[in-house]
Structure 1
């Protein structure tokens, strides 16, 4: 797996006093004047430099270089260098071997291939990973299909008559499968084929005790390795469940017939998205929530969604758990424990959507001392390095937010670090998330209770969508925009939105948080009238005034 390592060290230096990107570039030039420095990357945004040096260079020399430019060293640490510039590429088949072909793996492969490196992608299943095959793409197209039927059956406008016929579920699933196949070919197979340095290898990868990586027993010699094996549905330890033909998010979207009654165990985004989808397509749906809906979100979010989903006929049972599951003669029987005590529930289909677990089994990680966390995730540092020299990990397998865009970002960063030497720091401090229910849920940062628990003195703005002109005109005023800001600085620390197409609004909060735009500055911007985006301006105005007393378009 690994080439011979030269005697080098990698230093992480926290620097105070830089004021611009030019300062960082000047710092790199100063490091470069030291003969023992192999490479350096200094970031003004992060206030940090990563420097690879020969082992003979000491920390005092690097500190002197920093102080020579008029800056201060807050902290300096060193570790043995074994990747990027510190690793030999001689005597290997590939510069980078990637286990997994999902978003993280493909992003890493592209990054390495763009640098002219030789890359192997090892895939034991279907090319493309979760998102395109069994996650984002198939679920969102079914959600839109269900929405089309729902819109046909309901209208808020006088004089408009609509109706919705039955559903040819098998035809809908076939169309979904066709879309998945098209995107898998266009966005994964064809993309990888465009890079001459990338080789896709089918088979199971596993580390040997020697540290060697093998595919179905055949050794693969690679200078660096990236583990990007993703995650799978987590199955709770409910008595009898394992002996039944329960559905997961994957198999639920492969059914040939629409369930008469679907019971959903779980109350996270997958459970609610699919639960509402099947309800709108014609199934009776019961959702079992151990506590409340979307328990990681602001309680206001789950409370609002409870009402909207209940209005559509979804039977939601809060604080209710399944204690036993049986399957007899094509029917499920569940024993439940909830506010009403012990009860039973029957259904023809059971969907388990109770979270996800990292895919680490069968990789031989314990053979090479790659440490796992309490939930089975691979432990990584701020550069996505594992506890094994030369081995990186990225995406869901590290236990980070299970979003395809986070995985792609992580894969790109890890691929860069494995090939060119670490420098960029993995940062998930500002990650937006969207739940594609209707109305949708979008959030970023902290909700008000979490912010106060951290000791932040916050001020909160909560604007009902009934104050947004676009929502009024569309006769759909479901939801709210809730902003949480630091009282003193007026900077956002979080945002929670429940609204149709909430995902189209949340990026305003992301940009404001990333670049330090105050709420009063946002309130002073010009927004086109009768757009949903205008609601964000109104929510910012709500910090300082009663928007009910404003006329249309009032500044």
Structure 2
């Protein structure tokens, strides 16, 4: 970096080092462009450090323990047990996995591709017509960075509502909860979205007594059948879900050390007690220290960088990708964003983000996965739709697994038969969502899917059976001759 004098130090300056940042940097280097990346914290961003990788690793461990405790009841002749969890050892194993993946999939790639990495904080300076970055490291200012294009890929952080007493009492987020050295004796989880569901089941299966406080219903943006199915699963596993609950105040009892949470539950005040409180009420874009106003980059009410469908900001030199845009918070969205930005910035591709067939997965067990439109969304678009909900008791794979909790739902256009959406609550439902993406991308109809090959004794076969249910009484199908 040098003092700015009308020249550019690189083709692309990237703020952040997560999925969006790396996808953009790799694509830019492959196009022969020079890249400088600035990261103020740990390389790798949310997914590998505090999000996808550690949470799914712990969920897998919790499921293994749950299966050990549950197998005796599900499978005749099987006797299993599970000891209390050594949380410290479990967290050490998680850390080792994260460190290994961070090194192999992030840090080592920087050397392989040859772009520059500066550890420090970046903030915009200059003017909207001529933006630059001021980069400050732990020891002071590192210098000024000028680029042909800038990418904001700073991600998001947990958002916490302004509840009286919450800051003074102390609380966990999805990130800090995964650093606990002991399993909480009891845990209140505030929130009903993807993260809240995963964390609630995770800690319950590790041995904590968990209660969820949910403002409306579980995963309120998805099909109501999904909410009901997951609530039933959680009830079976001893996790109460308190609906229409709005946290109003929090304090800590000085004698017992318990968190005392008061909530408005359907218009009546209720008090909940636990050793720990986890707040999972959404995330907020990390943009506060970037000085975006200085270079004319507009932001929204929650700090998100406002972008067009091409991911351009209000400044033609500046782009944004990933969680910082306020768009869908999935790492595969972030990485897609990063590559798209580079194509648009350097090749003038004019590509736009298309979320029509975006898969969504909650990694509970059974998992929730969806792709395309829900019943309500289809109706809202004026589509006359036909829906079928297939209970898992009619899916042979679920019968073999001895776990028929869940369903598969298809939303189809009544006039054309074209499938518009698929939702499933089932073991490995994420794989069903992947199949659903291909079905929707191909524009397949219910009839086509009902008459297409599907391997027997797979969960994905359930999509075919659900399609058959439009014209066939599936209760009268032979399990091996359908």
**Shared fold by TM > 0.5?**
yes
Is 2:133 the counterpart of 1:213? yes
Residues 251-290 of structure 1: pairs in structure 2 closer than 5 A: 251-290=176-215
Q: Deviations over 1:88-119 (max 9, x none)?
A: xx921110000010000000000001112110
- CA distance in 2 between counterparts of 1:375 and 1:543 reads 43
In structure 2, the residue corresponding to 1:108 is in which secondary structure? helix
Asked if 1:193 is matched to 2:118, the reply is: no
How far apart are the structure 2 equivalents of 1:327 and 1:364? 37
Q: CA deviation at 1:521?
A: 0.8
What SS class does the counterpart of residue 113 from structure 2 fall into? coil
Query: Which of 500, 505, 522 is the equivalent residue of 2:432?
Result: 505
Q: In 1, Cα distance between the equivalents of 2:184 and 2:286? A: 30
Match of 1:183 in 2: 101
The residue aligned with 1:109 is: 25
TM-score scaled to structure 1, two decimals? 0.82
| In 1, Cα distance between equivalents of 2:420 and 2:333 | 20
Structure number with greater Rg is 1
User: Cα deviations across residues 475-501 of structure 1 (Å, max 9, x unaligned)?
Assistant: 111100000000111111111100111
Residue 37 of structure 1 corresponds to which residue in structure 2? none
2:459 corresponds, among 517, 532, 539, to 532
Question: What is the aligned length?
Answer: 467
Provide the rounded CA distance (Å) in 1 between the counterparts of 2:438 and 2:394. Answer: 24
Residue 328 of structure 1: how far off its partner (Å) = 4.1
State how 1:118-517 maps to structure 2 within 5 Å: 118-155=34-71, 156-196=74-114, 198-210=115-127, 211-216=131-136, 217=141, 218-329=143-254, 330-339=257-266, 341-517=268-444
8 Å CA contact 1:226, 1:415 repeated in 2: no
Q: Is the 8 A contact 1:96 1:418 kept in 2?
A: no
**SS class of match (1:505):** helix
CA drift of 1:209 comes to 4.5
List, as ranges, runs of 4+ consecutive aligned residues in structure 1 with deviation greater than 4 Å: none
Cα distance, 1:145 vs structure 2:
0.4
In structure 2, distance between residues paired with 1:106 and 1:285 = 37
Could you give the per-residue CA deviations for residues 362-386 of structure 1, whole angstroms, max 9, x where no partner exists? 1001111111123321111121110
Q: Give SS of 1:493's match.
A: strand
- 1:319-359 superposed Cα distances (whole Å, 9 cap, x missing partner): 11210011244321111110371121121111010011111
Question: d(CA) in 2 for partners of 1:244 and 1:321?
Answer: 17
- Residue deviations 1:490-528 (CA, integer Å, cap 9, x gap): 111111100111111111211111121112111111212
Q: Structure 2 CA distance, aligned partners of 1:101 and 1:398?
A: 15
Deviation per CA, 1:251-286: give whole Å up to 9, x if none.
000011110011111111111101001001100001
Following superposition, the deviation at residue 455 of structure 1 comes to 0.9
Tell me which moved more, 167-176 or 531-540.
Answer: 531-540
RMSD: 1.5
Which residue matches 1:24? none
What's 1:18 paired with?
none
Give the drift of 1:432.
Answer: 0.3
Aligned partner of 1:30 in structure 2 is none
**Aligned residues of 1:383 and 1:422 also touching (Cα < 8 A):** no
Gaps of 5+ in 2: none
Q: State the alpha-carbon separation in 2 of the partners of residues 97 and 354 from structure 1.
A: 32
Please, what TM-score do these two structures have when normalized by structure 2?
Answer: 0.94
Q: Is the 8 A contact 1:262 1:285 kept in 2?
A: yes
> For structure 1, which runs of at least 5 residues remain unmatched after alignment?
5-89
